[in-house]
Chains A and B, each alone.
Chain A
Amino acid sequence: MALLQVDDLQTRFISRDLDNQVRVAKAINGVGFSLGRGEVLGLVGETGAGKSLTAQSMIGLLRPPAKVVDGLVEFDGRDLLSMDPGALNALRGNEIALVVQNPLTSLDPLTRIGDQLIRVHRAHRKVSVAQARERAIDMMAAVGIPAPERRMRAWPHELSGGMAQRVLIAMALINEPKLLIADEPTTGLDVTVQAQILDLLRDMVRRMDMAAIVITHDLGVVAHYCDRMAVMFAGAIVESGPVDSVFAGPAHPYTQALISATPERLALGSGAIVGGPPPDLYALPEGCHYRGRCPHAAEVCGSAPPDREIGAGQVARCHFAGNLPAAFQ
């Protein structure tokens, strides 16, 4: 059975405008996927597509006016959406860990990093300070921080971006979570440091037999560090499947456009660039939400496209999925 099962997740921003009319932004529109232990899922899509919001909706981190209005999130046999906030809080940082961008702003600037690690560990485990300390030092060593015992005393501002990200990963993994969610874990880091961090994450996921969701804009990260991928557009997953199959034969026109727009595949001067504004979440069009930008849009696209099975585990939400010309060689 899957460790994590998400079905038809729906998240709305509900507000009132100046005339006191209720306005509803449909930010997440029926996201569904499942994830097993040892599996790494890459979540991609343009800015505003709803990647972070999907993660926040799942683990109870939404702030008003955002609200999950429908769907199911089942983690290790428990229904997260109906869980009370206290229980969910006990789960986060323990069985479910989150690593976000901007490591420096996610660390407490007034606490030495060793003490932060100890605090996180003791919040969820009945251990002595000495035991927690030992565990913290082990974790710092495991994430490749040199001289961990000495570094326990460091302040967050004394760390480089790469070191701070390692500390955050140590903190996320100190309680051996079953699920790790990494939201742009390497954005803003240097390429060579990025590689170190990604190697580290992959090793830890394997070693601890965790499941992981990696949210990223970098298709290179997905290609080389993820097993499966899900492509989001306007709050929905428009295509998902094994990384190899999706890259070899993207079936949704948006996935095709996305992969074709990577500089490595771009042919400047070919005029083949497909872009455009995202649809208005307050007034999503009927039918396919990609319709306004899609080069293949036809009359039938005015009705909601089905999830079409393309091949083993590859699914695309498009009327023509599987029947479109190949996007590239």
Chain B
Amino acid sequence: MTEREAAPQVSAAAAPEPAVEPVLAAENLVKHFPADNGQVVHAVNGVSFSIRPGEVLGMVGESGSGKSTVGRMVLRLLKPTSGTVRFRGRDISALPERECRPLRADMSIVFQDPWGALNPRMKVSALIGEPLKLHTPLSSAERRRRVEELADRVHLSTAFLDRYTADLSGGQLQRVCIARAIATNPKLVVLDEPTSSLDLSVRAGILELLAELRDETQVAMLFISHDLGTVRLISDRIVVLYLGSIVEYAAAQEVFERPAHPYTQALISAHLPPDPRARLTRHVLEGEIPSPIDLPEGCPFAARCPVVQPRCGQEVPQMVPVGDDGHRAACLRIPEGGNQIPR
């Protein structure tokens, strides 16, 4: 593969012991949406993974591969068509809407666009206090204290608490969103492209904050992003999604250094490290992700795969182990060559 700089010294901490009960276990999640003319969008097609306390699971994949849909299903903002979401051991996939509400204190979400996510007519203090008002019995004085604590926690000057969102920058607004998301000490936070709309230095500050929160509160995070550099930096493990299916799953460094699936290989090779000395080995992909309306038979990647074989159009590849440490990928050619798929 590509020659690169030494890996950044971050989040390389050993994955938590397997004995630890996962906060979240998604099993075989499927989501279909109705489309025009009675057709069906196969947005998510059997996705399984788990996240342990204090773990950041990165999720990457092209636009339309189903990342946000998975994120919304595990929070039960969206009901899975089938499959199980186990949150702290409890199956929440079929809970009626009403019974999902108490869960909102234990799980939360941060979106890409902090401008759109916050009500411009509410003061920052009210925005951060809102989840506390909904989910805790705190008095208004206690709430104010907690809001100040939270502002401090996300490194937002308390001077902003009595301002409206129009006075805050994108980075500051994203800190408000994060303060809201952690207000009730949730066990799981889904971050859907939380830094994509932010400048580099602002983004760096938010990543630093998230890493800090993870270490101090042991909150589990599902971190969805298009930016491979960011995902590598913040994640312990990474899942790669393609057309609604997981094609690879491994420790973050492993995904970058020994990608096994041909799609992951192409994805990683298309990443441009900000260093002119890094040599690029291009595995150029032709075409674009197919429509999830007519799901292809066999391997979802077959139409674009540079090492496709006739059987790839018939058999659906299962996740199989590649090397050690739980690294797995779904490609029919893996058993022949381990992670050295013949090219």
Contacts and interface: CB of A to CB of B under 8 A. Distances in A.
B305 interface: no
Interface stretch (B8-16, B44-52, B183-191, B332-340): B8-16
Of B63, B204, B267, the most chain A CB neighbours within 10 A belong to B204
Given A162-B288, A219-B274, A244-B276, A258 B266 contact: no
Contacts of B62: 190-193
Of B199, B212, B280, the most chain A CB neighbours within 10 A belong to B199
Interface string A239-274: 000011001100000000111011111111100011
B201 A257 contact: yes
Given A190-B62, A219-B274, 6 more contacts: A199-B282, A263-B203, A264-B232, A267-B8, A268-B233, A269-B211
Interface string B177-210: 0000000000000000000000111111101100
Nearest to A221: B272
A150 interface: no
Contacts of B171: 275
A34 to B, nearest CB: 21
A79 interface: no
20 contacts: A162-B288, A190-B62, A190-B288, A190-B289, A192-B267, A199-B284, A220-B229, A220-B272, A223-B274, A223-B276, A224-B276, A243-B276, A247-B275, A258-B201, A266-B204, A268-B10, A268-B208, A268-B211, A273-B208, A275-B201
A293 B257 CA distance: 36
Interface string A220-243: 111110000000000000000001
Interface string B138-179: 000000000000000000000000000000010100000000
Contacts of A277: 169
B209 to A, nearest CB: 10
Interface string B219-258: 0000000111110111000000000000000000000000
B273 A190 contact: no
A257 B278 CA distance: 20
Contacts of A243: 276
B294 interface: no
Contacts of A268: 10-11, 207-208, 211, 233-234
Interface residues of B, number: 46
A267 B204 contact: no
Interface string A174-206: 000000000000000011111110010000000
A220 B271 CA distance: 8
Contacts of A261: 200-201, 203-204
B97 interface: no
A191 B271 contact: yes
B94 interface: no
Nearest to A188: B63
Contact of B5 (A264, A267, A274): A264
Interface string B268-311: 00111111111010101101110000000000000000000000
A145 B293 CA distance: 23
